[in-house]
Amino acid sequence: MNRKLLPWLGLVVRLGLAAVWLYAGATKVGDLAASGRAVHAYQVLPYDVSVVVGAALPFVELALGVLLLLGLATRLVAGVSAALLVVFIAGIISAWSRGLAIDCGCFGTGGALPPGQTPSYLPEILRDLGFLALAGFLLIWPRTAVSVDGALTGEPVEDEDE
């Protein structure tokens, strides 16, 4: 890959993943109780723990989005993003394998689906694998154009010698 284009591709990847986290957090932050119920629908955590996780999750997602938007601690944020996405993928696979009929709650309130409604687990898993690929890209190439990380180090984004 052209080394001069890599920081700009990284910028697109970073802003794309930022948009995902900002949208996911924004759709949940208005109803933290519903977010807790969505986490509980996976039937993995006790109810009280689900409520706390569900209430905290939108703020974590928003924080990840803001940090990625700014390009601050990009590799660390990409690592946390990757770990969170692996947990989300594992949760969806677990719900699917146990025959639960739930909305993942990824971009909204989620929870149990009405009787007769079929969950769409495979598209959700594939979507999250795509987001995981974005996080993986940033883990490998965290230096992106137009970032606080670059401004703090004072290093040019492009290698002038090439």
Q: Output the pLDDT for position 1.
A: 63
Task: Report CA-CA distances (Å) from 31 to 17, 27, 35.
Answer: 23, 8, 6
- pTM of the predicted model as reported, rounded to 2 decimal places: 0.91
Domain ranges of the chain: 6-153
Residue 155 has what pLDDT?
A: 63
Position 123: which residue type? P
**What pLDDT shows up at residue 80?**
98
Q: What is the pLDDT of residue 160?
A: 43
What distance in Å separates the CA atoms of residue 73 and residue 48, rounded to the nearest whole number? 32
Dihedral of CA atoms 91, 94, 100, 101 in degrees, nearest 10, equals 50
10-residue mean pLDDT profile of the chain (162 residues): values are 88 98 97 95 96 97 98 98 98 96 89 90 97 98 93 61 42
Q: Given this model, what pLDDT does residue 75 score?
A: 97
Q: What pLDDT shows up at residue 161?
A: 42
